[in-house]
Amino acid sequence: MKKRLLFFAFSLLFVACEKDFEDINKNPYNPTTTSMEALFNGIVGSLQLGWNEQFYVHNEKLYEATQLGALTAHAWLNTAIGLDETWNRYYDALKNIRELESRFDAYPGEQAELNNVRAMLKVLLAYKTFYVTDQFGDIPFFDAGKGIQDIKYLRPKYDSQEAIYKFLLDELQWAAENIEINPAATTPGGKPYYSFGAFDALFGSDMNKWRRFANSLRLRHAMRMVEKDRAFAEPIIADILTNQLPIIRKGEEVLLVPQKMGFDKLSTHWSFREHRNLRLGTTLWKMLSPNNKPDGSGIIDPRTYIFAETNNAGQWAPYPNVIPPGETVPVEGGVPYGGQRDVNFDFKGASCVFSPFHYYLIRDEKDVPEILLTAAEMHFLKAEAYKRGIGVPADDFQAEIEYNDGISASISFWYGVAQKCGIWQNAPTIDQTQIFQYIFNPAVSFGANGFKLEFIYAQQWLDMFRQPWEAWALARRTGKTPREGDPLQYFRLVYPAGEAAYNGDNWQAQIGRMGGDRNNVKVWWMI
């Protein structure tokens, strides 16, 4: 049987070699008969987080690095599985992005007809590329994803993060300025603008939302690079704030809602259930409850009840992010993320000594979204700009307005997540009075604490509770997010092992330029 299978395989190979060159260079996974709409829909789908990415990178590495969570044990050392998935999912999607770009260029009609869909693609390319380069640093980009077009691109060179950043920010500006939000408008040649219609599962082809997303990404990443190249970044921030360009507002968060987009979000529960070791940490708990009372009477932040739970004994017990020398911590166990809680919610296992993340937040498969960008983040970025005088005159009082609006937007968003979650039993509610009570609590009030920049960063960090990759970027950029113990030294992800095997020459050249493929090598925008 094995001999017959080998003969059949070699026969297929021989037949393939006899085909015309044009035929053998067709990509069987992206056939030319696939519509542009279907290609775009697949690219939107690729925004979902990977299973191993969440398990090995987010849960095992980034929650600990940011101290948004605490690890009770380092039991999963095979981070390479998550690195491979993060990397490969990006480059698989990039091939489809390049294919769609080629089809746009070959479009037989008026090129202006494609302005909206071209802008949408540029925004997705920017989001996905920023996501990867912010974690790895320099990556193959300008020649990457083009191997189907020309064999010379099969092993693409690495490009500097600086060049990638500046290119993408220019592309986002083009997108924001060339989007036509009037559905009845026509091109200069009198043609209607091409639309992907319902194939846009993210915004339903609402071009106003795409323009807001483009400007919001401009603001996020201009601020991210401002320490490194203020001359390039500051005019972008000034353009957005001074001209009051449309950005994401409260209630318009950019989200992947499983039920709306037609997928079951099984990966998150799996990553927590199988990983088992993430708990509420002392760094976060000090922000949520400054007096550290186990009965919860000292809780001041209403998001506590969305983010985390009590232990099996009904006590609030954070796991230490840093264990002092000579001290011991009880061995943690239990099954706080186990499926048995669907039937008996209160049972987390007798050995669950420390507070877990909230079960429903990570258990839900239909309604709890994966987050791309929040309105709260936009407010906190604006608050930072006004506080520091970046792109606008320094103004502590305007910074306070944005800071307060950011907290309000964040609390409203997280309570909305709980309320919209179909499986969340007795989901908590909140009113504006309670939100104001928190905003003006002496421990939180921006003005009462001397308009300190660290307060803005702390609230932005809190809002990013389920975006550990964004909180990691904030911590690396500022060095001023809440933290216990030594300063952060985990600055980047190492390149996947496959790069050394399949793109060895370019990988080796990159390693030489950066002085080694190590976690403590800073990415370009860090100082």
Domain count, the chain: 1
> Would residue 322 count as lying in a domain?
no
Q: Are 260 and 202 in contact, with CB atoms under 8 Å apart?
A: no
The pLDDT value recorded for residue 1 is 34
pLDDT digits (tens, 9 = 90+) for 295-353: 999 999 999 999 999 999 999 999 999 999 999 999 999 999 999 999 999 999 999 99
> Would residue 353 count as lying in a domain?
no
> Domain of 416: which CATH number?
1.25.40.390
DSSP 365: S
Residues in the chain: 527
SS3 assignment, position 239: helix
The pLDDT value recorded for residue 148 is 84
Residue 220: give the domain boundaries. Answer: 36-267+366-514
* Short-list 220, 132, 170, CA closest to 474: 220
Q: Are 399 and 386 in contact, with CB atoms under 8 Å apart?
A: yes
pLDDT digits (tens, 9 = 90+) for 204-222: 999 999 999 999 999 999 9
The pLDDT value recorded for residue 276 is 95
With a CB cutoff of 8 Å and minimum separation 6, the contacts of 172 are 122, 123, 126, 214, 215, 217, 218
Q: Distance (Å, rounded) from C-alpha 26 to C-alpha 494? A: 32
> Would residue 1 count as lying in a domain?
no
> Would residue 347 count as lying in a domain?
no
End-to-end CA, the chain: 62
* Short-list 124, 88, 77, CA closest to 495: 88
The pLDDT value recorded for residue 28 is 40
Phi, psi of 281 (to 5 degrees): -100, 165
> Would residue 239 count as lying in a domain?
yes
pLDDT of 232 above 90: yes
The pLDDT value recorded for residue 18 is 29
pLDDT of 223 above 90: yes
> Would residue 7 count as lying in a domain?
no
> Would residue 372 count as lying in a domain?
yes
Cα within 13 Å of Cα(423), Cβ side: 16
How many other C-beta atoms are found inside a 10 Å radius of the C-beta of residue 458?
A: 17
Exposed (0-12), middle (13-18) or buried (19+): which is 442, by Cβ within 10 Å? Answer: exposed
| pTM score, whole prediction | 0.93
CA distances from 206 to 138, 196, 209, 243, 414 (A): 33, 10, 6, 22, 24
Element (H, E) at 73: none
> Would residue 377 count as lying in a domain?
yes
